[in-house]
């Protein structure tokens, strides 16, 4: 068996620092679409904290703000790609 490189293992286990803690953000506002857009995928889903690197406190703030922004129509629920039909035609 091949042994793994310890520096490679450290890099794999190293958690990304929370960008909101680094910027010393107190609260996340649902009207700040630019900030919330960083935490939404191309399909319109909320990016998990494991991928975005948010701490638990800020991930809760971000997810609640995204949900409020969707209800207030600042953000879409689903992003539909152009050129694709919304539904397939049924056979008659």
For residue 54, the model assigns a pLDDT of 94
What's the rounded mean pLDDT across residues 36-57?
A: 93
Question: How would residue 38 be classed by pLDDT, with cut points 50, 70 and 90?
Answer: very high
pTM of the model: 0.71
Assess whether pLDDT exceeds 80 at residue 10: no
Cα separation values, 19 from 22, 49, 58, Å: 5, 11, 9
> Domains in the chain, ordered, with CATH?
16-71 (4.10.640.10)
């Amino acid at each position: 068996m091949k042994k793994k490189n310890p520096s490679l293992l450290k890099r794999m286990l190293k958690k990304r620092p929370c960008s909101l803690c680094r910027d010393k953000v107190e609260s996340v506002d649902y009207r700040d679409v630019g900030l919330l857009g960083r935490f939404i995928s191309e399909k319109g889903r909320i990016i998990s904290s494991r991928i975005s690197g948010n701490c638990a406190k800020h991930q809760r703030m971000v997810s609640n703000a995204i949900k409020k922004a969707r209800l207030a129509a600042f953000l879409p629920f689903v992003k539909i790609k152009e050129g694709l039909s919304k539904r397939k035609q049924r056979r008659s």
